[in-house]
């Protein structure tokens, strides 16, 4: 059986496809729900599994990634799983060293400082050689899910990855990375193109390994205004959707739904609606009705409860979920938070969120 678990074939039949149906704009009995960072430090079992291991060593262990991906599904009736990994595995594949510093987060030992530093990056990346451990984790997890819910694969988007590679970690202003866009536009495009090419192969590889949907995280979109986004983010976001789809066709792989989540980019929602993604993810800073008006009826929306709402009492969480569902409507909609779960959140409140989405959406659908 061991070899079977490793083969991206003969996957168990999917039992709950509500997430995929909503992504494709088909009718669902209830509104599907999952949470960004659902496999995370808010779960004691996650902290236990992760305790002895370096973070990126965990990412490189298919067995641990599988276990961490499954943990939240044992607790909550979520409608999708998302593979446990990190967006910074792509810069690692380009040859950069990233370490997880306790209390500080991901840190690049040698960030990109000058344009010449681009020459240090691998110009051609064999994603199977560099990121095969993610593909193995996806295949193992897809089998281990036993068809319970679909499995989502993901990647960071080019601008978000570029900003980390230049800043060397998190930043409140992204001033170093943005200075490249103004001072070195050509070199910036070279780097973004290199990243996009790796991301395209990486996402296609995830589908080949068994991912049933893909999410692209443009987490740092909010640091760009409309002009910079138009020049340095949107073209690559569009290109990734188009290229992934044409490669999936070429390789006779399933055409899986794709989600774009560009945090704090309300200024670009109309463009994102036409960027080639079936689903547009939203943060909590926009009203559901406004988002729907800008995005139109042909794209599914995902989001957007303020993660901090989960600190509220459970009854209040239920009220907020009901209001959110009334704003978005229960169809062509996937419930989620407007960003990831925080480590100090109470798992019971996460459960209350998931159950409220199911209960209220079923009630609205009946009436």
From the list 24, 75, 86, 362, the catalytic residue is: 86
DSSP H helical ranges for the chain:
2-6, 18-24, 44-50, 55-59, 62-75, 89-93, 127-144, 158-167, 175-183, 185-209, 226-228, 234-250, 269-273, 288-295, 314-328, 347-366
Is position 86 annotated as part of the catalytic site? yes
Cβ contacts of residue 131 below 8 Å, gap of 6+? 89, 90, 93, 202, 205
Is position 37 annotated as part of the catalytic site? yes
The span from the CA of 318 to the CA of 238, in Å, is: 36
From the list 17, 21, 42, 50, the catalytic residue is: 50
Is position 126 annotated as part of the catalytic site? no
From the list 21, 42, 79, 164, the catalytic residue is: 164
In 3D space, the residue among 15, 160, 4, 1 whose CA is nearest the CA of residue 81 turns out to be: 15
Is position 41 annotated as part of the catalytic site? yes
From the list 21, 37, 142, 332, the catalytic residue is: 37
Instruction: Say how many C-beta atoms besides its own lie within 10 A of residue 260's C-beta.
Output: 28
Is position 193 annotated as part of the catalytic site? no
**β-pair type (213-218, 151-156):** parallel
Which residues form the catalytic set?
A: 37, 41, 50, 86, 164
């Amino acid at each position: 059986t061991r070899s079977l678990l490793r083969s991206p074939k003969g996957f168990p039949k999917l039992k709950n496809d509500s997430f995929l149906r909503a992504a494709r704009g088909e009718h669902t009995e209830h509104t599907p729900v999952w949470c960004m960072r659902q496999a995370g430090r808010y779960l004691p079992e996650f902290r236990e599994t992760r305790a002895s291991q370096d973070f990126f060593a965990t990412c490189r262990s298919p067995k641990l990634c599988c276990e961490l991906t499954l943990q939240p599904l044992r607790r909550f009736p979520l409608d999708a799983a998302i593979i446990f990994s990190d967006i910074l595995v792509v810069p690692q594949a380009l040859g950069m060293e990233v370490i997880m510093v306790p209390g500080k987060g991901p840190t690049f030992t040698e960030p990109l400082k000058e344009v010449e530093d681009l020459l240090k990056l691998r110009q051609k990346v064999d994603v199977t050689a560099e990121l095969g451990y993610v593909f193995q984790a996806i295949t193992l997890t897809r089998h281990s899910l036993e068809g319970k819910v679909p499995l989502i694969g993901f990647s960071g988007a080019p601008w978000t990855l570029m900003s980390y590679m230049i800043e060397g970690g998190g930043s409140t202003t992204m001033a170093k990375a943005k200075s490249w866009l103004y001072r070195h536009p050509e070199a910036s495009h070279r780097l973004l193109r290199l990243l996009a090419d790796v991301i395209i192969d990486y996402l296609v590889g995830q589908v080949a390994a068994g991912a049933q949907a893909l999410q692209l995280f443009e987490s740092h979109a909010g640091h760009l205004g409309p002009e910079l986004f138009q020049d340095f983010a949107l073209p690559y976001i569009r290109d990734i959707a188009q290229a992934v789809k044409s490669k999936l066709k070429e390789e006779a792989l399933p055409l899986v739904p794709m989600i774009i989540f560009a945090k704090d980019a309300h200024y670009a929602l109309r463009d994102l609606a036409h960027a080639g993604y079936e689903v547009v993810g939203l943060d909590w800073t926009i009203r559901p009705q406004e988002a729907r008006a800008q995005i139109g009826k042909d794209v599914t929306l995902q989001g957007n409860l303020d993660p901090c709402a989960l600190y509220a009492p459970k009854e209040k969480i239920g009220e907020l979920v009901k209001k959110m569902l009334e704003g978005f409507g229960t169809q062509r909609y996937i419930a989620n938070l407007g960003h990831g779960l925080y480590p100090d959140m109470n798992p019971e409140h996460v459960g209350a969120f998931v159950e409220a989405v199911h209960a209220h959406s079923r009630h609205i659908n009946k009436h």
